């Protein structure tokens, strides 16, 4: 892969990916289970991310309030 030429690097990576043998096919039932599991996992991850954002917001508000108390706007 040529790191100095991004386009040729991307194209060569695509060619390498295409030349790899295909994975065995899943049955429809297996595929449904796979996607349900992925959605469930991603949903839980999203919920944790929302909690994290809430925590960051609360901490930022505390710092902003203290700065205001110190006379900094």
User: What is the mean pLDDT of the segment spanning 52-62?
Assistant: 98
Residue 42 pLDDT > 90:
yes
What mean pLDDT is predicted for residues 5-18?
A: 73
Identify the domain containing residue 67 by its residue range: 46-73
The answer to whether position 7 is within a domain reads: no
Contact 1, 9 (CB under 8 A): yes
Q: Per the domain annotation, does 12 fall within a domain?
A: no
**CB within 8 A of 1, min separation 6: which ones?**
9, 12, 13
Asked whether residue 52 carries a pLDDT value surpassing 70, the answer given is: yes
Could you give the number of structural domains in the chain?
1
Residue 39: is its pLDDT beyond 90? yes
Report yes or no on 55 lying in a domain: yes
The model's confidence at residue 20, banded by pLDDT at 50, 70 and 90, is: low
For residues 14 and 65, give the distance between their C-alpha atoms in angstroms, rounded to a whole number.
52
pTM of this structure: 0.56
Kindly report the CA angle at 30 between 29 and 36, in degrees rounded to 5?
Answer: 90
**Cα(11)–Cα(4) distance, rounded to whole angstroms?**
13
C-beta separation of 8 from 20 below 8 A: no
């Amino acid at each position: 892969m040529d790191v100095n030429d991004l386009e040729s690097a991307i194209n060569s990576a695509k060619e390498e990916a295409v030349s790899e043998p295909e994975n065995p096919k899943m049955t429809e039932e297996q595929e449904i289970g796979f996607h349900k599991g992925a959605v469930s996992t991603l949903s839980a991850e999203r919920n944790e991310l929302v909690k994290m954002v809430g925590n960051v917001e609360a901490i930022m508000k505390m710092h902003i309030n203290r700065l205001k108390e110190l006379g900094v706007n």
